[in-house]
Chain A
């Protein structure tokens, strides 16, 4: 009678440990998936950051400004103008 009680108790512990083990395994699998997911996300965000940075630098470059100015026909007419004789303005 006492032996049977011990066997039932041991079997219960074993089943409990097995369930706990399965739970841990599933948790780690889920965490692995999450790591893989965040790895991918981080890489994508980094890439889109680089892409946006490149676009921003390109848009704010003098090269872009010069090309836009040429398209709008600004360059030839908007040269530096020096006031050599400012007599009227000084009065």
Chain B
């Protein structure tokens, strides 16, 4: 055979090999990852937006954590794998062994593994252990604002999704948009500079700056923890806001949970009591009715009312909280002594129509519009379901239910010049360098400036000359009102179970903060004046120093 024929035969064999190989790839193994093996498309996950307090201090950021997995078919020494994982992750050896099923290619061991733990495992150089990177939320302040912020969990598709609070309400802003890159890669996974190359960058989630002040939040929570221990209450809340804008400065309720380990808690811990729990406000409601009566000019600021004794409304007899009665009470003294009888008389002068009208005007029975997921609208009965006794008890805050944020907003309207404002917790949204500021939103004018000024003076007098002497900061004019509402159990009130509360503000002439302190079912003392009020004054003292507000008296 000539040399030319030999070369020709060689070429023919080569071509035959190529044709057979192409037949195998394109016909026999058609569609089995042939294209995907080379032209790889990868999702670029966006970074979830961070959450900062009003001074730029981080409350929620992101961290890299890892899912540790084992590939049983690649492990050479199973016992060594178990030993290394046990040492690094503090997992029970038996449970690791039970997880490693030799018939499977891949088994997950634990998610949320830190970088340090990963390095510890990698240092042992054991075959068959792998890591998958995942971004998770990091809370530098732990559970400082857990119920306010919410947490990031998974949806049915296994995607991250925010639940409750800010994470839930601003889910779309925080999530961002994923990107995608597709390119040809060689069998080793290296990019090849031929063929298709497409890249769509991801859009990271927006960063949020809150109206919450980390220092005030920390102080409020610290005080609340002490109060809860001291009064052995079932629940407790502290809400602090700027009454001129209704920017929330702090919002904390107990018991709460650790957002980094939300899965270890029952779901009853997740809802924010400050915006979702309903309660009868009791005497903290009285200033709202007094303000309404003054606004409608149904009473005069210096008018006096005969208290005398219990008052009959239909078949019911209404008494004062201590069953003690004065002969005559001025409007201010009705508030100072927290007289239910006096309030019923003011309510009778105001009239049922106006009582109902003002309950609506103060925003009860509608949501406040606060930018948090999980707000309850409260409940306001239809007008045709109101009876004479309901109008009477409503004047001293019984027989109607409100949420803490609703009563705080309504009370703020009484002292801020009469403006009912929408409370909010996010001050600024920053996305790709562009900033969007949230500004105060006035819902409606409820009262006049004059009525508001009168009420501020009355509420300062209530603190100064009330039934109880408070350890209030010297030299400051502080206004406020206590409340002790009995809790209805199966249609009747249980006198031993109360919701003790206090709403106060300072400085009285130009309030810089308003705070609501409340305890549900305190055991060592049941009145607002003995529980919530002292805690309010401790908080007020710290806030006056924090804001550097000088004494005026």
Contacts and interface: CB of A to CB of B under 8 A. Distances in A.
A41 interface: no
Interface string B197-226: 000000000000000001100100000000
A80 B190 contact: no
A7 B302 CA distance: 121
Contacts of A61: 58, 140-141
Given A51-B64, A57-B138, A58-B140, A84 B190 contact: no
Contact of B215 (A57, A62, A82): A62
Given A51-B64, A82-B541, A62 B218 contact: yes
Size range of the chain A interface in the assembly: 20 to 34
B115 A32 contact: no
Nearest to B189: A36
A28 interface: yes
A31 to B, nearest CB: 6
Contacts of A47: 64, 115, 133
B190 A62 contact: no
A80 B545 contact: yes
A53 to B, nearest CB: 7
Contacts of B140: 57-58, 60-61, 63-64
Contacts of B192: 28, 32
A15 interface: no
A63 B194 contact: no
Given A31-B193, A32-B190, A35-B191, A62 B115 contact: no
A31 B186 CA distance: 13
B542 A80 contact: yes
A33 B191 CA distance: 8
Q: Is the interface of A mostly helix, strand, loop or mixed?
A: helix
Contacts of B353: none
A57 B58 contact: yes
A52 B540 CA distance: 37
A33 B190 contact: yes
Given A57-B138, A61-B141, A50 B64 contact: yes
A54 interface: yes
Contacts of B218: 62, 66
A51 B115 contact: yes
A80 B543 CA distance: 12
Nearest to B47: A50
A50 B63 contact: yes
B62 interface: yes
Contact of A32 (B191, B215, B542): B191
A53 B357 CA distance: 53
Contact of B474 (A39, A51, A58, A84): A84
Contacts of A62: 141, 144, 214-215, 218
9 contacts: A28-B192, A39-B191, A47-B133, A53-B61, A57-B61, A57-B138, A61-B58, A62-B141, A80-B545
Listed from nearest, the 7 A-B pairs whose CB atoms lie closest are A61-B140, A57-B140, A36-B190, A54-B63, A28-B193, A32-B190, A57-B58
